[in-house]
Structure 1
Amino acid sequence: MLKGISPLLSPELLKVLDEMGHGDEIVFADANFPTVSTGKRIVRADGIGAVELLDAVLQLFPLDQYDEDHFVLMEVVPGDPVQTPIWDEYKAVLNRYEPEAKVHTMERFAYYERAKEAYCVVATGETAQYANMILKKGVVR
């Protein structure tokens, strides 16, 4: 047992976060994301919401301070009437740990291609649509 580490972070996920170096990317995938066909390395976080997982991870994981494209969401497909209130929750968590961070979006298929290059894809239990995010790791100071 460790002090100060969220119980939402499995030993496998902690290992991945530690192994990642500056510039490596991790994807937090919602329940609809094609995780298995996209990820080179997959960690399961079944039943865990993406907001809660983001909050737990950002306590330990700095975003890349040299690349503004360090927090990326999948754009809503044009014409899709879905709402994305979860994005506001992400921004609130992000601002708590990384006040200077900017949120970027990326077209769906370009997002999938970028996700294929990620160090790891984490399959969350998040059921909100367009709840996927890519985080680029920065330098621990």
Structure 2
Amino acid sequence: MLKGIDPILNAEVLGTLRAMGHGDDLILCDLNFPAQSVAQRTGLGRLLRIDAPMPRVARAVLSVYPIDSFVDDAAARMERSDAPDQIPDVQREVQAEIDAAEGRSWPMIAIERFAFYERAKQAYAVIQTGERRFWGCVALRKGVLPPEA
């Protein structure tokens, strides 16, 4: 255990988040996502896991991970194939975690399912969560920390 670090953030995940640079993508996905095959094609080259619900994982990650404020697509969600205009509850819950972490509304953009797979293959890393609800997949682009005043 470490003080100030969410206990679900394991050593592998913390090391990966620390190693990522500005502009690198992190994919958080549900149990139905083809995580193993996609993760093999990422910068990290292997799958990371946190066996907890997606909103809980998002909260933990966002406690240490800045989102890129220089681009419009820094927070993205996989669009439902059967109802592109509907936002699933799991994505609404992750949206609330993003907004809380950033201290403002930061709407995720929607990405078509197969385009999301392609973005995921270009990511630095994939964390598969224990989320069983469908469409629980998001991409978060890493931002920067400003210098101390």
TM-score (norm 2): 0.87
Between stretches 82-91 and 53-62, larger displacement belongs to: 82-91
2:103 equivalent to 1:105: no
2:29 equivalent to 1:24: no
Instruction: In structure 2, list runs of 5 or more residues that go unmatched.
Output: none
Task: State the 1:102 CA deviation.
Answer: 2.3
Q: Give deviations 1:56-94, integer Å, cap 9, x for gaps.
A: 1111111001011011110000358x9711122112111
2:81 equivalent to 1:77: yes
Note closer, same or farther for the CA distance 1:83–1:73 as it changes in structure 2 (3 Å cut): closer
What pairs up with 1:1-141 in 2 under 5 angstroms? 1-39=1-39, 40=42, 41=45, 42-45=47-50, 47-78=51-82, 84-98=88-102, 99-141=104-146
2: distance between equivalents of 1:83 and 1:92?
A: 13
Q: What is the total number of aligned residue pairs between the two structures?
A: 139
- DSSP-derived class of the 2:23 partner: coil
- DSSP-derived class of the 1:86 partner: helix
Instruction: In structure 1, list runs of 5 or more residues that go unmatched.
Output: none
